[in-house]
Structure formats: structure tokens, C-alpha cells
């Protein structure tokens, strides 16, 4: 079963690009990688999902190397409002049940 590991916390400054890496050494062949964002006292919100190479949307980019054992969420030019917890999720079983780990607490400084 794929287990994800990501940094517990990160600090960055406004205007910087932030990269959060998640390792998932045991990812299964058919597993997708999904990232969610959670602000305090709110439910998580879907950011991006990918299977291989690179995916980009209006919010972020997701880079997945060929071996798919890790992935990197890239947030371009962050602002204070990007302060949140970011979760990297990989399905934990064949039912595609998604399990949230502890996430990465990103703190953006002015």
C-alpha cells in the first residue's frame, strides 16, 4: 500500500515559488497523485491531480518523475493567503479510498 511522506512544515516569503515534495515509494501502477489545500477551520479543497510528467492548472503545477516515487507541488509566486496545510494523497487500496496524512503546514511570511 502506498504511503506518502511530506515535510511537516515549510516557511516561505511572498512572491517566491514554493515547491513541496511528497514521496510515495510504493505507489501502484494505476495510482494517481492528488493534492488538497486546507485553510484553518475549513474543509480541504482540491488543488491538482496527476498521473505522470507534468500537470498545470490556474493554481499550481504538479511534477511527477518517470519512476513516480515522488511528486512535487509547485505554487508560483505565493501570497499570504497561500498559508495553509497541503496534503499529498495516493490511493491506499484498490477501492481508491483516499487517506489523508498529516500534510505540510506552509507558512508564508511578508
Partner 1 sequence: KAGVTQTPRYLIKTRGQQVTLSCSPISGHRSVSWYQQTPGQGLQFLFEYFSETQRNKGNFPGRFSGRQFSNSRSEMNVSTLELGDSALYLCASSLGTSGRAPETQYFGPGTRLLVL
- Where along the sequence are the contacts to partner 1 (CB under 8 A)? 30, 32, 34, 38, 41-46, 49, 51, 87, 89, 91, 95-103
As measured in angstroms, the least distance from the Cβ of 98 to partner 1 is 6
Query: At closest approach, how far in Å is the CB of 101 from partner 1?
Result: 7
DSSP string, 54-70: EEE-SS-EEEE-TT-SE
Collapsed DSSP state (helix, strand, coil) of residue 81: helix
| Smallest distance from partner 1 to CB 80, Å | 22
Alpha-carbon gap, residue 55 to 108, rounded angstroms: 24
Phi and psi at 70, nearest 5°, equal -150, 170
Closer CB to partner 1, 16 or 26, in the complex? 26
Amino acid at each position: 500500500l502506498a504511503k506518502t511522506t511530506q515535510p511537516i512544515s515549510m516557511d516561505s516569503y511572498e512572491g517566491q515559488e514554493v515547491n513541496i515534495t511528497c514521496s510515495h515509494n510504493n505507489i501502484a501502477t494505476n495510482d494517481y497523485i492528488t493534492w488538497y489545500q486546507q485553510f484553518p477551520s475549513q474543509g480541504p479543497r482540491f488543488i491538482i491531480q496527476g498521473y505522470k510528467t507534468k500537470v498545470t492548472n490556474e493554481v499550481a503545477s504538479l511534477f511527477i518523475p518517470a519512476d513516480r516515487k515522488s511528486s512535487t507541488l509547485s505554487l508560483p509566486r505565493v501570497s499570504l493567503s497561500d498559508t495553509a496545510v497541503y496534503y499529498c494523497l495516493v490511493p491506499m487500496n484498490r477501492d481508491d479510498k483516499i487517506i489523508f496524512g498529516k500534510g505540510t503546514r506552509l507558512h508564508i511570511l511578508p
